[in-house]
Chain A
Amino acid sequence: MARGTERPLASPSSQNRERVLPVSPNIQIYSPQLTSVLSFTHRVTGVLLSLAAVGLVAWLIAGAVGPDAYAAVQGAISTWIGQIVLFVFTFAFFMHLCGGVRHLVWDTVHAFELRQVYLGGWLAVAASIVLTIITWVVAYS
């Protein structure tokens, strides 16, 4: 974050010769809009997916090691906290996927009008929720 710069003031008073000027607030007062909130969500889901990748590798290694290790990991996943974590990871996956599609479209210099940005943004949110629910319904059917 930008910090106040060391700047001597114009008036020659000896007291304020080395005054450090304040910096105006940014995230503390700026309104959360779909643009910035979805961008922040894209980054947060990316970090969550990095953690999920580690979990995925742990699960695969447990499967490769043997039936005892695999049963232990499956037991951890089937606890209620394991299920919540899995649900969060699924939602993060789909949010990041839909956000990623928006970014790929922007890279081709399309859909930059505000109407298209907002339509695409809400569509991405709705699609992530729907895809997460479908995945979980199919997984448990």
Chain B
Amino acid sequence: MIIESSEQVPRTRLFKRFPVPKNFGLAPQSRIQQGKRWPAPAGARRIKAFEVYRYDPETGENPRLDTFEVDLDQCGPMVLDALIWIKNNVDPTLAFRRSCREGICGSCAMNMDGTNWLACTRHISDLGDPGRIYPLASRTIIKDLVPDVTHLYAQYHMIEPWLKTKTTEPNVERRQSPEERHELNGYYECILCFCCTSACPSHWWNSDRFLGPAALLQAWRWITDSRDEATEERLDNLEDPFRLYRCHTILNCTRTCPKGLNPAKAIAEIKKRMFERRS
């Protein structure tokens, strides 16, 4: 009941989803229909079923939910292992992003059993039966579990994630005390998987203008960096009813971060700094 860290999966869930119709508010081309069932190979003893969101841009039919039965004795313990097993043995057309398989690149971010996490660090045993695998929420889908993250990268670019200085470059590195470097802890570790931004209901409703927790966490990372000299400009950039202030401290972002970071706290720090510079 009391969640201490974002990697905790709740033991029991009263509701698996909000009590809304399954295709509530989805545009006609986004409505999900029933898909195929792919049974487990003969002789499999430990079987787990996965419901996976599929979309094929070649046919252009509506997205569907395919059910795959996976032989757990043949694949590794993580959800990404199950997806790779499905792609190798059952349906080679299943598309998903993956790279490091150790939770550091952020490619395999997807929605498993209703919460966003990295597929390579989510245990299969933590999912219900059947495990429900969807792509990151509220994103345009290119194919199957591959979302289009161009807009999210554009929002990240908008906060100008580089060191901006006015003083001339020194011959050695720009000095920073250990305390000043400590200020960046908890913010520089972001792997830009965008689990948080696609978990934020405020970003679902205002994705065009609200920057979202990932971009704002990075905005705070640069505002709080003692070497950066453009703090006022960065804060001016956020003086807008939508870019920063659509955050209503819902806190889904901190709950879902696969690296255990705290975007909500970073956003609160930005709001406090915005308030302090007005007074």
Q: Which of A1, A7, A29 is B140 in contact with, Cβ under 8 Å?
A: A7
Q: Mark A62-92, 1 if CB is under 8 A from B, else 0.
A: 0000000000000000000000000000000
Instruction: Find out whether the CB atom of B139 lies under 8 angstroms from the CB atom of A24.
Output: yes
| A57 interface residue (CB < 8 Å to B) | no
What sequence of 0s and 1s flags, for each residue 108-128 of chain B, a beta carbon within 8 Å of any chain A beta carbon?
Answer: 000101110000000000000
Could you tell me how many residues of chain A have their Cβ less than 8 Å away from some Cβ of chain B?
42
The answer to whether the Cβ of A119 comes within 8 Å of any Cβ in the partner chain is yes
Chain B residues within 8 Å of chain A by Cβ, number: 68
Chain A residue with minimal CB distance to B32?
A25
Interface centre among B26, B58, B254, B265 (most CB of A within 10 A): B26
**Which residues of chain B (177-213) have a CB below 8 Å from chain A?**
198-199, 201, 204-205, 207-208
With both beta carbons as reference points, the residue of chain A lying nearest to B254 in the complex is identified as A114
Interface members, chain A 29-51 (any B CB < 8 Å): 29-36, 39
CB-based contact A30/B205 at 8 Å: no
B251–A21 CB distance below 8 A: no
Q: What B residues does A11 contact at CB under 8 A?
A: 58
Q: C-beta contact mask, A107-118 vs B, less than 8 Å → 1, else 0?
A: 111001111011
SS of A interface (majority)? loop
Residue A141, interface by CB 8 Å:
no
Q: Is B62 an interface residue (CB 8 A)?
A: yes
Cross-chain contact B138 with A28 (CB below 8 angstroms): no
Contact of B22 among A24, A28, A108, A122 (CB under 8 A): A28
B residues engaging A (CB < 8 A)?
A: 1-6, 10, 13-18, 20-27, 29-30, 32, 53, 55, 57-58, 60, 62-63, 111, 113-115, 132, 134-142, 147-148, 198-199, 201, 204-205, 207-208, 248-252, 254-255, 262, 264-265, 268-269, 271-272
**What are 6 inter-chain pairs, A to B, with CB distance below 8 A?**
A2-B139, A19-B60, A25-B32, A25-B138, A106-B249, A106-B264
